Amino acid sequence: MTDEKLTLANEIRARVEDLEAQLIVIRRDIHAHPELGFDTLRTADIVAAWLRTRD
C-alpha cells in the first residue's frame, strides 16, 4: 500500500472509530423505543438531529 493510501485508510479508520460510540447510543435508544409500521417520527427526529450536528 502506498503512503497516500495508508494515510487515507488511517484517516477513514479514525473517523469510523469516532462515530462508532455515537451510533451505538443512537441504535440502543431507537431499539429501546420501537415504533410500529411507518409511524417513525421519533426515529426520524433523532436521526435528523444527529445529522444536523455533523459537518
Confidence (pLDDT) at 1:
73
Confidence (pLDDT) at 44:
95
CB 29, CB 46: distance < 8 Å: yes
Q: Using CB atoms within 10 A of its CB, is residue 15 exposed (0-12), middle (13-18) or buried (19+)?
A: exposed
The model's pLDDT over 7-53, given as tens digits with 9 standing for 90+, comes to: 999 999 999 998 998 999 999 999 999 998 889 999 999 999 999 99
Q: Which amino acid is at 33?
A: H
Mention every residue, 6+ apart, whose C-beta is less than 8 A from residue 41: 35
